[in-house]
Amino acid sequence: MDDLPLILFGAPMLPDPARLAELTAGALAAAWLTNGGALHMRLEQALATTQAPGDAVSLTSSGTMALTLALMLGNLPPGAEVITTPLSFAATAQAIAGLGLVPVFADVDPVTLTLCPRAVEAAITPRTGAILPVHFLGVPCDVAALSGIAGRHGLWLVYDAAHAYGVTVEGVPIGHFGDASAFSLHATKIMHTVEGGFVVTRAESATNLRRMRNFGLEQGRPTGPGLNGKLSELHAAMGLALLPGLPEELAARNALRRVYDRALAGLPGLSLQGGKPAAPGYYSLRLAPDLRAGLHLALAEQGIFARDHFPLLCGPGTCWQGQRIITAGGGPALAPGLAPQILCLPFHGRITASDAQRVCEAVTRFCTTRPTKRPA
């Protein structure tokens, strides 16, 4: 037992080293290392082919930068409120706060764990400028309802799609919804450039976004807001080198999902996350908080690394602690009770069949040998 290999939570996709070297050598030979070089252009074009027709991809130095630029594109007044979810990675709210805007947390739907449209409506004030929902753990938000709200109230709508690479809604690539969608290309995400990200916008907005990404420069002069949000040629080389292996990684993850689904569905005390299209990013379970802690520990003792994804953004000890989560009916919010129910299992393309079996057996043993109760 002690010499069983560790099963890591995540593992970055790695390129064929020769292909990476060849691409990098091209950038070195051209002595063009950043500022929109050939590799950057190629990667933008390759990613754009995976988006809806008429949508543009603009690469950025990180997913957080993609969120920042997507919000900047909305031209919000200083101090405007941005309604977002308390269930996300820190970057979502930090991107809002970093621009001098104010994150306002609204409650989530108990099934999809994404922003509840009725709670969003309840959170709207005269100071609201934008809505920033997250396709949490790859489950699409209620995009139709959220578009309706944004349209009726004249609000800028930016999606955090960092968990949703490759997800579609009724055949439409997820990046098409809202005014802009921000993706992360961080090494912990399925497709990556080590560090990086991109924004999907309608093609006509891309010029503005790319100007802001490059210090707000137009013919060498700053003509509006801007910062340095560019992705280098070396990072773009990594992305291009990984693209050929992506279908295989996706196939491996889909196969792993089927193995987990088959083995874990119906276990006492545990439910699988709702939401239809099976996103390739994460595999999450829901279980009562005391059981989650127990299972997390039991797995760790067997060399299996799960994650509590993610602690509540406005929970105790955070810089937004005490900020009230707005609900549709004014009652207590669901999110604080839901966050401690979520456990993500190891999920990546290098998990072998025997690893997967070990994970399933460990979860099954835990669920069938302990007194259990279903999550509320």
Binding site for ligand PLP (CB under 6 A): 62-64, 88-89, 91-92, 134, 160, 162-163, 184, 186, 197
CB 270 within 8 A of CB 290: no
Among residues 73 and 298, whose Cβ is nearest to ligand PLP?
73
Nearer to ligand PLP, 269 or 275 (CB): 275
The distance of closest approach from Cβ of residue 58 to ligand PLP in the complex, given in angstroms and rounded to an integer, is 14
CB of 366 to ligand PLP, least distance (A): 27
Closest CA to 343 of 303, 305, 302, 301: 305
Q: Where are the alpha helices (DSSP H) in 73-160?
A: 90-98, 117-123, 143-153
Q: Which residue is nearest to ligand PLP (CB)?
A: 63
CB of 222 to ligand PLP, least distance (A): 24
Between CA 78 and CA 112 the distance in angstroms is 32
Q: Which is nearer to ligand PLP, 63 or 280 (CB)?
A: 63
Cβ 364 to ligand PLP, closest distance in Å? 29
Residue 257: how many other CB atoms lie within 10 Å: 17
User: Is 47 exposed, middle or buried (CB count within 10 Å of its CB: 0-12, 13-18, 19+)?
Assistant: buried
**What is the closest distance, in whole angstroms, from the C-beta atom of residue 263 to ligand PLP in the complex?**
26
157 or 298: whose CB is closer to ligand PLP?
Answer: 157
Q: Beta strand 284-287 with 270-272: parallel, antiparallel or unpaired?
A: antiparallel
CB of 307 to ligand PLP, least distance (A): 12
Q: Please, which residue, 67 or 325, has the CB nearer to ligand PLP? A: 67
Alpha carbon of 344 to those of 226, 283, 327: distances in Å? 37, 5, 26
Nearer to ligand PLP, 70 or 367 (CB): 70
Tell me how far the alpha carbon of residue 161 is from its chain's centroid: 5
CB atoms within 10 A of CB 299: 22
